[in-house]
Amino acid sequence: MLYYHIFEKAKACGYNKTALQKAAGLSSATVAKIGKNEPIRMDVLERICKVLRCQPGELLEYIADEGNPLLERLREEAGMNLRGGIYHLTQVKMAYNTNRIEGSRLTEDQTRYIYETNMVGIEEERGTVNVDDITETINHFAAFHYLLEVAEDDLTEEIIKEFHRILKTNTSDSRKEWFAVGDYKKRVNLAGERVTTKPEYVAVEMAKLLADYRVQSEIREKDIIDFHYRFECIHAFQDGNGRVGRLILFKECLKHKLVPMVIEDRFKQYYYRGLKEYEREPGYLVDTCLHGQDVYRGYLELFDIAGL
């Protein structure tokens, strides 16, 4: 993996990013590439060296890529349709908790039964089950499988919309003419009691959110959590925003080789409080998400998966 020491060297020489950009005649795109450790042209590197009075070797470092053992294991087990591994466990835990947070009445045992048998098991004493709960559970299994396919890709509107399309296909919502499956909302909606972005501004706000996120040189847990909060404030889709948002949380943790987060239904009130009070006190949401990370860390220990 290529790693640049350009900004550290510039700082030591008395240049901030803006000053270096001006002195070396760098474009904003080049500055962004440096921040993300993406390759830049040799003549550009030579201009930077001239400004900083150093050799290229002082600004470059190649670090062996250790891979992503969790992603590799999840993909391997998904390809084998392996039962009893971390892919199996993740599918059940993710689908059960994220749907339960949104009001699904399926139990974890019923969720596991659907995953393992592709059939529905309903205890007689529990009575009827909402068909949408079943459909959205099955859809979530497919959405997580898609997540693994795009885990290493940069997050885009296309990926986010595809999550929504998969989650809401064949639900009762999808049969409503005005309900935009796989596309941004057409009608005003609320997140609890919070006012969200009006439909006509969603595309602009989503583009801005993604641009702000991509420009960061290093993505850590708090950056992903902050993205999650801003995404939920926009509430880009007519319904399903929480489920899409939590899939993004998991995907971005995988991409950046961080332990993923599974928000458990039993902590949903803390989760809702965190979203509601984030701007005043971000710690509530951060702590809830980091607890979800600890939950998944326990799964990694159970299956003896290291490297994160």
User: Tens of pLDDT along 58-98?
Assistant: 898 766 556 899 999 999 999 988 889 999 999 999 999 99
CATH of the domain at 7: 1.10.260.40
Find, among 70, 78, 184, the residue nearest to 141 by Cα: 78
How far is the CA of 112 from the CAs of 45, 146, 216, 265, in angstroms? 54, 19, 38, 16
The CATH number covering residue 108 comes to 1.10.3290.10
Q: Which tokens hold the place of 122?
A: 């309903």
Q: Which amino acid is at 8?
A: E
Residue 77: give the domain boundaries: 69-302
For 1-10, write each residue's pLDDT tens digit.
677 899 999 9
Residue 43 lies in a domain: yes
Q: Are residues 167 and 281 in the same domain?
A: yes
Give dist(CA 213, CA 207) in Å, integer.
10
Q: What one-character DSSP code corresponds to residue 2?
A: E
Q: Is the pLDDT of residue 268 over 60?
A: yes
What is the percent of the chain where pLDDT is above 70?
95
The pLDDT of residue 62: 64
Co-location of 238 and 261 in the same domain: yes
Residues 111 and 228 in one domain: yes
**Nearest Cα residue to 260 out of 249, 272, 270, 271:** 249
- The tokens for 71 are 């992603």
CB count in 10 Å sphere of residue 164: 24
Three-state DSSP state, 61:
strand
Q: What pLDDT, on the 0 to 100 scale, is given for residue 63?
A: 66
Residue 76 falls inside a structural domain: yes
